[in-house]
Amino acid sequence: MPRWIELDGVVNMRDVGGLPTRDGRETLPGRLIRSDNLQDLSTRDVRRLVDELGVSDIVDLRTHGELEATGDGPLRATPARHHHFSFFDDHGVSLQDLLVRTREAQAAQGDGRVVKDAAYWSAHYRGYLERRPDTASAALRTVAEADGATIVHCAAGKDRTGTVVALALDVAGVPHEEIVADYLLTDERIVRIIERLATAEVYGHLDPGSVQEQRPAAEAMTGLLASVDELGGSRELLRSQGWSHEQVDALASRLVG
């Protein structure tokens, strides 16, 4: 059952606790929360997250441009620790220019057209790990070392967040089909997500009518997980980033107990 967290200032926040693992256990609630951006949280939202849900750490996967344009949001004024890890090298580059560069690079690999289908998104997610595996590693290390719940978020809570959460759940032993099912839950909120983002100047390039190409597709996540398996799995990906076996096990224990 999805663990949606209903707040005034977000539309796509949920706890990934309660997911089954291959060995018959479940992921623990109150350890990892995924979300869209947090700058619109109300005072009531902040109190609930910190005082009731025990949030101790926030992993922000947005670009430097997004962060500069919108800020951290009201959680910055709390004791919760903020960590910013971007999948893009975008210092001094606007979000719009960054997206144009990404589309041009992808078009150059094909026939010049960019069709945002499942294959596009799968390649997009794989590109995160090829380009900046250190970002995924740093985000997951934060989850492993947190005292309380960690919120991992980007703008929509679908792509960058979905990639990091998928790796975390894979390390925890959650079957691929359950990881995909969690990823697909965002589809229930995709219209509201796009509508919300489109009202912000930094995301003005988003067309509220482009919901279809933004919908999460199962094949996008299965493609990412297959690519990770080709590398030896999420555990081996972290080992390649300097994690010891004990540290990887500690992440799994943090999520499952």
pLDDT tens-digit profile of 84-105? 999 998 655 555 555 545 444 4
Question: Which token pair is 116?
Answer: 């945002």
Q: Let me know the angle formed at the C-alpha of 12 by 60 and 236, rounded to the nearest 5 degrees.
A: 50
Global pTM reads 0.91
Nearest-angstrom CA–CA distance, 78 and 82? 10
CATH number reported for the structural domain that contains residue 202 in this entry: 3.90.190.10
Whole-angstrom Cα distance, residue 38 to residue 131? Answer: 25
Task: For residue 152, count CB atoms less than 10 angstroms from its CB and return exposed for 0-12, middle for 13-18, buried for 19 or more.
Answer: buried
Contacts of 125 (CB under 8 A, 6+ apart): 159, 162, 163, 220, 221, 223, 224
254 belongs to a structural domain: no
Q: Tell me the mean pLDDT in the region 208-220.
A: 86
* Residue-averaged pLDDT of the chain: 90
Percent of the chain exceeding pLDDT 70 equals: 87
Given a cut of 50, whether residue 107 has pLDDT beyond it is no
> Per-residue pLDDT for 201 more than 90?
no
Is residue 103 domain-resident?
yes
If one counts the domains in the chain, the total is 1
Q: Which of 17, 40, 41 is nearest to 169 (CA)?
A: 17
| Residue-range definition of the domain harbouring residue 36 | 3-248
Pairing of strands 14-15, 32-35: antiparallel
Q: Does residue 8 lie within any of the structural domains?
A: yes
Instruction: Return d(Cα 179, Cα 165) in angstroms, integer.
Output: 9
Which pLDDT value is given to residue 112? 52
Could you read off the pLDDT of 124-180 as tens digits, one per residue? Answer: 999 999 999 999 999 999 999 999 999 999 999 999 999 999 999 999 999 999 999
Q: Is residue 197 part of a domain?
A: yes
Predicted confidence band at 72 (pLDDT cuts at 50, 70, 90)? Answer: confident
